[in-house]
């Protein structure tokens, strides 16, 4: 069964203090791994898609990396506006041509000024 586990559940950082969020996954043939950001009262906002081990993607202070078993979302010198819940999701071979994603429980990040 496809499964996604994110850690930590919550993370508090001081502004400027870099850190990483972890997403471990078990899937029968990875077609894509997705990172989303969700603000309170809003729907998830798409950040990145990663397809194969070794791949990296960057956007402003965020950098996502992928290995065969996990993905990391590195946050460099975060600002208070980076505070949100970060969700990781995978799409396996069996549902690669559908909208079915398996989501982790998310990591809630709080960045204090």
Partner 1 sequence: KAGVTQTPRYLIKTRGQQVTLSCSPISGHRSVSWYQQTPGQGLQFLFEYFSETQRNKGNFPGRFSGRQFSNSRSEMNVSTLELGDSALYLCASSLEASYNSPLHFGNGTRLTVT
Binding site for partner 1 (CB under 8 A): 31-32, 34, 36, 41-46, 49, 51, 87, 89, 91, 95-106
Which of 78, 109 has the CB closer to partner 1? 109
Q: Looking at 1-113, which runs of residues are DSSP E strands?
A: 3-7, 10-14, 19-26, 30-38, 45-50, 56-59, 62-66, 70-75, 84-92, 102-103, 107-112
Residue closer to partner 1, measured from CB, 9 or 15 = 9
CB atoms < 10 A from the CB of 35, how many? 24
Q: Which is nearer to partner 1, 11 or 102 (CB)?
A: 102
Cα separation, 81 vs 66, in Å, equals 25
* Under 8 Å between Cβ of 15 and 110: no
Q: How far is the CB of 105 from partner 1 (least distance, A)?
A: 5
Q: How far is the CB of 51 from partner 1 (least distance, A)?
A: 8
State the nearest-atom distance from the C-beta of 59 to partner 1, in Å.
13
């Amino acid at each position: 069964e496809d499964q996604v586990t994110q850690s930590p559940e919550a993370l508090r950082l001081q502004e400027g203090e870099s850190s990483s969020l972890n997403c471990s996954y078990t899937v029968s043939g990875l077609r894509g791994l997705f990172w989303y950001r969700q603000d309170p009262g809003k729907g998830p906002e798409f950040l990145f898609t990663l397809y194969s081990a070794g791949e990296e993607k960057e956007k402003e202070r965020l950098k996502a990396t992928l290995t065969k078993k996990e993905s990391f979302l590195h946050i460099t010198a975060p600002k208070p506006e980076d505070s949100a819940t970060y969700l990781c999701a995978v799409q396996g071979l069996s549902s690669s041509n559908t909208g079915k994603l398996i989501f982790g429980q998310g990591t809630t990040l709080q960045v204090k000024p």
